[in-house]
Each structure stands twice: as structure tokens, then as C-alpha cells.
Amino acid sequence: MLKIPSKTSSVSIESAATLSVENVSWSSAKSERMILSPISFSLEPGRILGVTGPNGAGKSTLLRLLYRYHMPNTGSVKINGVDIWSIPAREAARTVAAVLQEQPTDFALTVHEIVSLGRIPHRKGFSAAHGAHDTNIVLNTLDRLELSHFANRQFGTLSGGERQRVMVARALAQEPKLMVLDEPTNHLDIRHQLEVLELIRDLPLTIVTSLHDLNMATSVCDDVLILKDGRSLGFGTPETVFSEETISNAFRVTAKRDRLVSSNAKHLSFNL
């Protein structure tokens, strides 16, 4: 069983936001098929939502609607009560940051340069220059994520886990109120998975992350959402949503919820 320390009560959630997803649906202009059927849920500031479901269920599509990549066909995504499509793109980029599976292809950029990209939405006009305030935020973010010693390393020379940390740092330097992560533990070994999840757990932000590992989602997330065929099968705490019946139905497996002998923690196992 993965042991992720619980969120410390000292974490400040002043910078976190309320997320309200109201009746949001999406289909591609080129296809008749509804990829995400109308869905509604809300998250209190500082909560972590894990979005789960089988391949093709609509997880990435939902995340794309949250970070304003797709415009919903119906409904709205509101952050602190403000529709993200009612504000300019630059303002939206100061509100929501995304950590995606695709990483920068410019491997020659240094870690410092990549994290500095997070400050772009905060620049005035077309100025390319960083002010002292931006520089401080970048340096503090590098320090906070224990990346200072990598500041001048080229991104392409880092390991997968280190790169993932840099991408989280870039998103943090953006000073968002909501952070969206698409499968942040993909391709990472167990140690780096734990490191990234612990990092997410400690961020003083409202977070939405897609995760394939349901036991990990139970350890890290305050709330979970299960999607199947673009529809919600349940939203709420892992305890209430991750029933054997719901998991078995969502993933077409036989799911069993046991308790681990060592820690007495609940643990899901699966059979075909």
C-alpha cells in the first residue's frame, strides 16, 4: 500500500480556488458522438480531485475543459464563481495551470528557463524582460521543489522524474489557483511516483489530476470522479465512490476491497 502523508493542516489555502463545473459537455466538431455527457460537480478550495476511469472514458477531455483548451458545448467551468471563458486568455492562464504528459521538445532550455516560462502570463504588455519579482518567484519555486542545483542543467539531461518536477515547478511559477495534472505519475518508477504525489499533496492549491492507479487515488485524493463512456459513475470521497460494484462495472473486472494486514488500510485488487 502506498503511504502518502496526509495533507498538513498548516498548508495555507488562501491562494486556492473553488471550482464549479456546471452541466459541462463536449463533442468534437467533426464527430456526432458526445465525448463528455453533461457533468456537474464542485470542489472546495484546497481539495484534490482524482479523475479515474478506463481508457477512452473522457478523463483528458474533462481536464482540457478545465484548463480552457476546449470550450464546453453546454454549461460552464467557474473558478471562484467566474466563468473561465468570460475572461481574457492571459487572465485565465494566471488562474489555471496544467501539467500535461507532453513535455517541451526544446531540450536545450535550462531548468531555470523552463520554470521562467510560467511567468509569461504575468508579464505586462509585450515585455520579454523579467522583473525582480518574477525572478524571485522562479528562484523560490526552484528552491521549494528542490531543483535549485539543477537550475543551469539542460532539460534534456534530466531523468523522467526530475523532468516531471520541473513541469510542476513551471506550473507553480504561474501562481495559479487551480492546477490540473494529466497522469502525472505516468512512466515514473515507484519512488518518483511517491515523490510527485507527495508534492501534489502539499501544494496549497485546488487540484484536479487524472490517475490510473485507484489505490494511489485513494491515498492522495480528497474526492474522486469515475468516468465511463463520457459519463460520471460517481463523485465523492474514495470511500463512498470506490465500491466493488462501481469499480467492477467501470473497468469490466471483478474488484475486491480488502484491508491490508500490516496497516489495516483499505486496498483494491482486481481480477478479470
Ligand X SMILES: Nc1ncnc2c1ncn2[C@@H]1O[C@H](COP(=O)(O)OP(=O)(O)OP(=O)(O)O)[C@@H](O)[C@H]1O
Q: Which C-beta is closer to ligand X: that of 62 or that of 96? A: 62
Task: Pick the stretch among 56-64, 73-81, 133-141, 238-246 that binds ligand X (CB under 6 A).
Answer: 56-64
Q: Which C-beta is closer to ligand X: that of 10 or that of 31? A: 31
Q: Which C-beta is closer to ligand X: that of 121 or that of 230? A: 230
Least distance from ligand X to the Cβ atom of residue 63, Å: 8
Q: Does the footprint of ligand X cover residue 55 (CB under 6 A)?
A: yes
Q: Does the footprint of ligand X cover residue 52 (CB under 6 A)?
A: no
Compute the distance between CA of residue 256 and CA of residue 267 in angstroms, rounded to an integer: 8
Contacts of 199 (CB under 8 A, 6+ apart): 145, 165, 168
User: Of 31, 127, 262, 264, which lies in the binding site for ligand X, with binding defined by CB under 6 A?
Assistant: 31
User: Of 5, 40, 44, 56, which lies in the binding site for ligand X, with binding defined by CB under 6 A?
Assistant: 56
Measured between its terminal Cα atoms, the distance across the chain in Å is: 21
Task: Pick the stretch among 52-60, 102-110, 167-175, 259-267 that binds ligand X (CB under 6 A).
Answer: 52-60
Least distance from ligand X to the Cβ atom of residue 47, Å: 21
Residues 73-132 that bind ligand X (CB under 6 A): none
Q: Which C-beta is closer to ligand X: that of 210 or that of 218? A: 210
Angle at which helix 160-173 crosses helix 190-202, to 10 degrees, equals 10
Least distance from ligand X to the Cβ atom of residue 61, Å: 3
List interacting residues with ligand X (CB under 6 A): 28, 31, 35, 53, 55-61
